[in-house]
Structure formats: C-alpha cells, structure tokens
Structure 1
Amino acid sequence: MGGPPRRNPARQDSQRGTRLQRLPVARGRLAVPYQRQSPAARKTEPIMISLNDHDINEAATAIRRGMEVYVHRAHGRMLIADDPERNVRADPEVFEAIMQDVSTDPDAYVHIERMPAADAIKIMSAFTDRVRNQELWQALTYALKRPNPFQNFKTELRRFPKNYERWRQFRQERYTEYVQQCLAEQQD
C-alpha cells in the first residue's frame, strides 16, 4: 500500500482555474447508455456514458459557473472549458483547444447545456419554500420578485450564514440532478 500517491491525469492551470480535461475514475459510476452507429456494419451497439459521483459533481459546479461541459460518449472523458466571452479571466487558447477537439468529432461528445435561468429561479424558489425562518423567507421571496433575482437572493442569504451553507448544498444537489438528467436524456 506504500509508494507515491496516485495522481489525477487532469491538468489544471492553477492561476485561471481552467480545467483542460478530466478522466473518470472507476469507482461509483453512473452509466447512461446511448446508441453508436458502426460505419462498417451500419448496426447500432449500446455504449455507456460513465461518470463517477465526483465527475458529476464537478460537471454540476462547472455548469453552475457558466462553463462549457462536454463528455465523451465512449470513454467518459470530460472536457470543461471556460468561455472567454463570458469570463475575462478564461484562457482563450485552452477554450479554443477544447472546442477544436470537440469539433473534430462532435457526435462523440455530449454537450451539457447551461441550466436555463427560469429553472435556476425555480431552484431558488424551492429552497425558499423550505426555509423556516420567517424573516429570511420574506426576504428571499421578495428578492425573487425584484429585478436581478440572482444577486438579490445571494445578498439576502449572506445575512444568514447557517442558511447560506444550506443553500449551497441544496443548489449543488439540484445541479447534480440536472447533469444526471442531461446525461440520461442522451441515451435516446
């Protein structure tokens, strides 16, 4: 059991936080089948998109932060790219390299879309319905009705640190479910 610790083959630019690629680990996989057409035989054979819980959680975090997430259908390699048009700190060279890799064989990758804003607001509303503190419930309900609901919701939650941590956990769970749902839809 000795020896050097196992290193993750993913490379990361520590200054920018841009993920170049992520290779899945074999534990706790979620398998989502899809059909791939063999060019020679022209018959379909099921292939599984396999991601472990850590990878799904990482994809959920990336989606929440507005990054582009692609998962290779055959071996589950995940590519996460931060779009320089949305984030000025993103590395355009890394983004272009990932987009070029995806564009060479677009059918080989599943693109996990960003969650629509209306769905994200529904998540905030669902959390608000679970809040027991009357003062916080009123503040969050009002924040969702005003312009800039995302910023207002976050500002109100920061006044209640205990509930802010609960919100972060609730939000991460919902985004994880969203990623799992997107992968499951790709099996059709």
Structure 2
Amino acid sequence: MPQNYYVVLNGGRVEKPTIFSSWGDVHPRVAGCKAKYERFKKLEEAYKYLKDNGVEEGDYHEVINPTAGKTTPDKGSKAFYAVANGTRVGVFDCFCGEDGCKCQVEQAPGACHQRFRTRQQADAFREDWNESVAYIYYKEIKKALDEGKRPLDMKFDISGLRLVQRDIVDAVDDATSQLGDFTI
C-alpha cells in the first residue's frame, strides 16, 4: 500500500483545513473532538476532497513529508508496530502476544498506533505524534495567555500527564523488547 494522505477539514485542532502525510500528525488533532477528516491513497484525491468541500487553493495548509514513501511492509516481511499513545509506548516487533502492540492499545483511551516497514518510519511516526501533541498544547496555552490568563505559579506543573512506560526494541537484534526509561 502506498503512502496515505489525510485531510482534516474542520472541527479538529487545526487553524484551517490541512492535508497531512502522517497519521501521527492527524491523531492528536482529531481524537476527542468532533472533527471532519478523511484518508486518501493519493494526494490528488485529497486536493479534490478539499475542492469538493469548497476549500479554495491557498486556503489550506499542507504538512507533507516527501520522503515518507511506502510504509506498509511487504507480505511476509518484518513489520514494526509503533505505539505513540497507549499503556506502553514504543516500537514493537509483533502485534499480538504479551509483548505486542495490541496489548498496549486495547484498553488505552486515545490510543494511537500504526504498522511500518522500517524502524525509522515507526520512530518518525512516534515523533510526529509527540510534536503534534506539544504543538496543540502550545497553541492552547498561548491562546489562554493572550486572553489574559496566567499560571497559578511558575512551577510548570505537568502532573496532569500520566506516566507511561516506554518500550525500547533493539532494531538490530530481533530479540524481545527491553524495558527502558519512562516518558511523560
């Protein structure tokens, strides 16, 4: 399967309609809110969708990584399962099983995961998700500050974020996952 493209038309955490090339960028912008969005196999289809919904050229953003390429593993080849948000986050070398991706996302509200052909693509997906979440928080904080709101103190308390175990898989050695650091 070739690269996918996603259009977040409205209702999500976007300033105006946007075409994305990574689900890692899209998920934080649409999860938990009423957003109108679609997935497309071709960039031309995404442009057509915008046009069909009355969005003029220049009235939308594009967040497209031209080097992403094909992400779906070939049949019978090794796959890497990226979990950007789940009970444990990381890159897993299997979907099912005790140490698989599925266990990390089944019971996690707002879970976000995807399968990739390379470890680098899986890592990039997780980084896209992290960057998108950070950007969304930045925009909300900036909006509140512009409205005259101020922090109760300058401790920069992040206690509202839950501690999630980060799983580190050695891509060279196909052994089982090793537990690593924690991330918030």
**TM-score, normalised by the number of residues in structure 2:** 0.25
Whichever structure has more strand as a proportion of its residues is 2
Q: Decide which structure has the larger Cα Rg and report it.
A: 1
